[in-house]
Amino acid sequence: MSTGTGGVPGLRDRKKEETRLRLHTAALRLAVERGVGAVTVEEIAAAAEVSPRTFFNYFATKEDALVDADPARTARVRDAVLARPPEESPAAALRAVLTEHMRLLEADRDLWRMRSELAARNPGLTARAAGAGDRFEAALVEAAYARTGTDPADDLVTGLTARVAMAAVRAAYQQHRLAGQEGSLADRLSSAFDAAGLR
């Protein structure tokens, strides 16, 4: 990703992120209103005020647009873990980065509501999101080992720490969904980290 000064994403990248978010939001809104099967790529593109060709620059299918497993976002989280102060333990680095990641994700309550509603109605989307979560977890594991410089074949604890951190994210998200998105997801994640002993 190209950046401006101080590591801030450049204008081109910000515009790409905005377009991706518009497409994701339009896909969610239409699918909630009509059902996933009744929505077309052309309708999503029109609602986001882009062409179908632009849609396919970001997503291969409408289901991908509904899940929005952005590889760039995963890379940013991985890089953020690597950029934490070197004296921090992998657990502390993962906790700090994932907490901030959750705060950013939950800022748009309407998106959370639509994602949860669609997930409850469409098990296929839940399975697709789970696959994206597995890739996100793999990036966390990779970043944790990069911080320690240890060999995964010899070091079980570092990989386990990253996987437990991701389990805490999943548990906090599930509780947040069951609570109807009431309260703070970041606070639930903090409680999950405490319960897992990740400090």
Q: What pLDDT, in 10s, does the model give residues 124-142?
A: 787 788 888 899 999 999 9
The residue that leads in pLDDT, 11 or 36, is: 36
Question: What is the spatial distance between Cα 147 and Cα 141, in angstroms, rounded to a whole number?
Answer: 10
69-199 belongs to CATH 3.30.450.20: no
Q: What pLDDT, in 10s, does the model give residues 154-187?
A: 999 999 999 999 999 999 988 988 888 888 888 9
Structural fold of domain 1-68:
Tetracycline Repressor; domain 2 (1.10.357)
Cα separations in angstroms, 38 against 58, 59, 109, 111: 21, 18, 25, 20
State the amino acid at position 169 in one-letter form.
V
Give 12's contacts (C-beta < 8 A, 6+ positions apart).
2
The pLDDT score that the predictor gives to residue 5 is 38
Question: What is the spatial distance between Cα 41 and Cα 97, in angstroms, rounded to a whole number?
Answer: 34
Q: What is the pTM of this model?
A: 0.81
Cα separations in angstroms, 73 against 6, 33, 96, 148, 178: 18, 27, 16, 23, 25
Backbone angles phi, psi at 135, to 5 degrees: -70, -40
Average pLDDT score over residue span 28-33: 95
The pLDDT score that the predictor gives to residue 6 is 41
Question: What is the spatial distance between Cα 151 and Cα 142, in angstroms, rounded to a whole number?
Answer: 11
The pLDDT confidence band at residue 111, using thresholds 50, 70 and 90, is: confident
Backbone angles phi, psi at 9, to 5 degrees: -55, 140
Q: What pLDDT, in 10s, does the model give residues 64-103?
A: 999 988 888 899 999 999 999 999 999 999 999 999 988 8
Inform me whether the pLDDT recorded for 10 exceeds 80: no
Share of the chain above pLDDT 70, in %: 95
The pLDDT score that the predictor gives to residue 143 is 97
The pLDDT score that the predictor gives to residue 182 is 84
Share of the chain above pLDDT 90, in %: 64
Average pLDDT, the chain: 89
Residue 25, both tokens: 């939001």
Inform me whether the pLDDT recorded for 9 exceeds 70: no
Domains 1-68 and 69-199 share a fold: yes
- Calculate the dihedral angle through the C-alpha atoms of 88, 159, 199, 171, rounding to the nearest 10 degrees: 140
**Residue 27, burial from CB neighbour count under 10 angstroms (0-12, 13-18, 19+):** buried
The pLDDT confidence band at residue 189, using thresholds 50, 70 and 90, is: very high
The pLDDT confidence band at residue 2, using thresholds 50, 70 and 90, is: very low
Domain locations along the chain: 1-68, 69-199
Backbone angles phi, psi at 3, to 5 degrees: -130, 160
